[in-house]
Amino acid sequence: MRITEIWASSRKPTVSFELFPARSEKAAGSLDKAIDELAALKPDFAAVTFGAGGSTREGSRQLVDRLKHEKGLEVIAYLAGYGLAPDDIVAVLDGYKGIGVENILIVRGDPPREEGFQPHPDSLAHATGLLAFILRRYDFCAGVAGYPEGHIEAESKEKDLEYLKRKIDAGAEYIIANYFYDNQFFCDFTERARAAGISAPILPGVMPIYSVKMMEMLAGLCGAAITDEVRQGISALPDGDTEALQAFGIDFAARQCAELLDAGAPGLHFYTMDRSASVVGIVNRLRSERRL
């Protein structure tokens, strides 16, 4: 089923999770556990990332296949096109089509960190061109990423929104937003998008606080502001108390999600980092409050 059809037919806000392919045997064990526990929540759909430069190409396809056919989940397959040859893009998408994928999320992607990587000379440098290339050949329900605080490389929020509008005009049907710790960023972003003529569903991304180190690292990579409320809440916790940090993260994210739902968000998209405990705690709390 197309993701837009799920939103159109759902009486409640949707719940969805992002997962990424495991890169080691230990990570595979953690991923297996996360899949089982997250699938037990009966999400409306899941999403699978695609490594820079196609580095997880086969692993991404296998994980999509597993979620669809072993767990019975609808899946959004991400495609990060940076550096890929057009023939490689076609091969990846033919593979997804062959296992029944109907939904994709198209992003430029980051340059691979591997030394010596060279983008293919015919690669598509921007998501807008990638969208046009794909939708001329396939009938996927295609989505794109949105950045409530502006993309970290954007010269301004206004310019970033202009690029987003181009993606919608090129055929994107939905937007999945990067995470944020202050809901006002998302509300302002949605308001500006609507004023710019973007009517596509905008799904907020939620990143639970898994560890202080991870929080700082991810915020630095994507430009998400860590608010005073978050920093002060963490500083009040006992040093090194991982259980207290997890409980704080669940409480903070559950309140954040409740506010987003009250503001009319069509659903909640959790960036799980292939972990399950915090997301299970958040979703169960929201369901106990009859918000989901």
**Which residues form the catalytic set?**
18
Closest CA to 147 of 167, 122, 124: 167
Beta carbons within 8 Å of 137's beta carbon, 6+ residues apart:
90, 93
- How far apart are alpha carbons 283 and 292 in whole angstroms? 8
Q: What is the DSSP string of 264-281?
A: T-SEEEEE-TT--HHHHH
- How far apart are alpha carbons 185 and 281 in whole angstroms? 24
Beta carbons within 8 Å of 281's beta carbon, 6+ residues apart:
246, 250, 254
Q: What is the DSSP string of 20-88?
A: ---SSHHHHHHHHHHHHHHHTT--SEEEE---GGGTTHHHHHHHHHHHHHTS---EEEEEE-TT--HHH
- How far apart are alpha carbons 41 and 62 in whole angstroms? 22
Element (H, E) at 15: strand 14-19
Q: What is residue 136's DSSP assignment?
A: T
Q: Tell me if 212 sits within 8 A of 234, measured CB to CB.
A: yes
